[in-house]
């Protein structure tokens, strides 16, 4: 992301602007690689070629790592079972396997959610229960992966007439992002 942002910034200084998103970076790299494109001075093209090479090398390395993770998930029973949960893919399953010390140490899913920081912080006093925002006390990367997976599930639920009724009811009562965190 850092290299992509640097490439966008340098090209923007030269008046070459692309819309946001990693998919649009390929068009910028093609401009740099095109020797006949007069919008880019030769000196700038030479300097930006290093950033373009770095972006392509990083993309190749990420692709190799993701393929290796998918192969590992297929061979590990725990990770395979985790991928049966809606919204949990190979990357999330591998992250859970790597970061969660002992899944048997949690009495319930609620305890796991509390450990991860997905449950509301309690500010109760005098018998009056007050719940605040989520505590965010656990691993932020794992929490983020689970919320992104839950967001994907909720997008399907929102557009599917035959989806789980309790999720549809949750979406009717709460904002989308609150429902995604609750689903995670």
Share of the chain above pLDDT 90, in %: 28
Render pLDDT for 8-32 as a digit per residue (tens, 0 to 9): 988 888 888 877 777 788 888 888 8
Average pLDDT over residues 123-136: 73
| pLDDT in the model for residue 143 | 87
| pLDDT in the model for residue 132 | 67
Asked if the model's pLDDT at residue 161 lies above 70, the reply is no
> Whole-structure pTM over 0.95, yes or no?
no
Give dist(CA 141, CA 184) in Å, integer: 13
Give dist(CA 116, CA 92) in Å, integer: 14
**What residue spans define the domains of the chain?**
2-72, 77-183
Average pLDDT over residues 147-168: 83
Render pLDDT for 24-63 as a digit per residue (tens, 0 to 9): 888 888 888 888 888 888 888 898 999 999 999 999 999 9
Identify the CA nearest to 72 among candidates 56, 105, 96: 96
């Amino acid at each position: 992301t850092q290299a992509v942002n640097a490439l966008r910034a340098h090209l923007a200084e030269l008046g070459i602007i692309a819309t946001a998103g990693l998919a649009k970076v390929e068009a910028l790299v093609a401009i740099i690689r095109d020797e006949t494109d007069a919008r880019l001075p030769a000196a700038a093209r030479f300097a930006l070629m290093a950033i373009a090479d770095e972006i392509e090398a990083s993309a190749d390395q990420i692709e190799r790592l993701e393929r290796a993770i998918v192969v590992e998930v297929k061979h590990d029973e725990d990770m395979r079972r985790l991928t049966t949960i809606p919204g949990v893919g190979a990357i999330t399953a591998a992250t859970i396997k790597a970061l969660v010390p002992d899944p048997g140490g949690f009495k319930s899913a609620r305890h796991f959610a509390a450990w991860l920081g997905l449950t509301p912080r309690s500010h109760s006093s005098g018998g009056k229960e007050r719940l605040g925002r989520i505590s965010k006390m656990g691993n932020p990367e794992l929490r983020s992966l689970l919320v992104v997976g839950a967001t994907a599930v909720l997008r399907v639920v929102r557009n599917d007439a035959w989806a789980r009724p309790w999720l549809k009811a949750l979406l009717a009562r709460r904002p989308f992002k609150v429902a995604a965190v609750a689903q995670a």
